[in-house]
Amino acid sequence: MAIRVVRTVSALRRAVIRWRGRGERIALVPTMGALHEGHLALVRAGRRRARRLIVSIFVNPAQFTPHEDLASYPRSLKADLDALADMKVDLAWAPTAALMYPRGFATRIVPQGPATAGLEDKFRPHFFSGVATVVAKLLIQCAPDFAMFGDKDYQQLKVVTRMAKDLDLPVKIVPVATVRERDGLALSSRNSYLSPDERAAAPTLYRVLTDCAGRIARGELLARVLDEGAAAIERSGFALDYLEARHAETLAPIGSLKEGPIRLLVAARIGKTRLIDNIAV
């Protein structure tokens, strides 16, 4: 069934007010389009939580810096709508950049805490303020009871969870497990940039994460495990941005399993593509 595409805040509000008036709960899946199975897992998780489901599709210029891939970021609205056609999505919220950031727009949310953990923020300094600003707008526009975010962007998940709490937004941020290819590569819209050779090397990230997690869980020294993991990633052709063990909730640096639950996080570049991934220990 063709999915209803909404392009104005007033039409969106009318739908949301109608649903809320009937006591129907709403789930939001925020996306930048280029939908893959990972997004569809968010959609299914949203469906399980709420009677009404909104998928937003908006490539957010505020979270890209000038040298990043905003211009080349895959855009495929028609294919995205086709992918959602049989998923019982009530509407696709597809605003333009001019609608989201009209002339004179002058407000930005600048998150701290997990947004300044020295992971993605170190390499993409404006990223989380762009994400927090657009997600706050989407949450206010769609007024969902639940908003679904993938574990794959783990720091983003923590930033958005903190922001919703700090701003008293009446929404539950729901984490959804990363979807992987059979060889372990985490699904990402940016995987489409990989050449065949790069694609063949890409599963190294997940292999190293699982190897490191196993060794840390067995009590091996964290620093040595991470050093060896970093070397393995670089040997496979990646330039490593970071491979870190952090406290799974606060993202603070952590020295051993005794200090709390550990999340291993990695970011690395191969060719023109930057990939991230993470797993629990």
Q: In the complex, what is the shortest distance from the CB of residue 29 to ligand PAF, in angstroms, rounded to a whole number? A: 9
236 neighbors 204 (Cβ within 8 angstroms): yes
What is the rounded CA–CA span in Å between residue 113 and residue 109? 13
Which residues contact ligand PAF by CB under 6 A? 30-32, 60, 63, 131, 134-135, 153, 156
Pick 58 or 238: Cβ nearer ligand PAF: 58
Q: How far is the CB of 31 from ligand PAF (least distance, A)?
A: 5
* C-alpha to C-alpha distance for 245 and 11, rounded to whole angstroms: 45
Asked if residues 181 and 207 have their Cβ atoms less than 8 Å apart, the reply is: no
- Choose the catalytic residue: 39, 67, 126, 247: 39
Which of 133, 138, 50 minimizes the C-alpha distance to 94? Answer: 138
33 vs 229, which CB is nearer to ligand PAF? 33
CA distances from 258 to 5, 243, 249 (A): 50, 20, 14
Closest approach, Cβ 137 to ligand PAF, in A, equals: 10
Tokens (6 digits) for 3:
């999915």
Residue 265 pairs in a beta bridge with 244, 278
Residue 67 annotated as catalytic: no
Sign of the CA dihedral running 112, 148, 60, 18: negative
Nearer to ligand PAF, 124 or 215 (CB): 124
CB 214 to ligand PAF: min, Å: 28
Spatial distance between the Cα atoms of 38 and 178, rounded to a whole number of angstroms: 7
Closest distance to ligand PAF from the beta carbon of 150 (Å): 7
Closer residue to ligand PAF, CB minimum distance, 18 or 108: 108
Q: How many CB atoms lie within 10 A of CB 142?
A: 25
Query: How many angstroms separate the first and last alpha carbons of the chain?
Result: 42
Cα(276)–Cα(119) distance, integer angstroms: 11
Return the number of the residue (44 or 207) whose C-beta is nearest ligand PAF: 44
Q: Catalytic amino acids?
A: 39
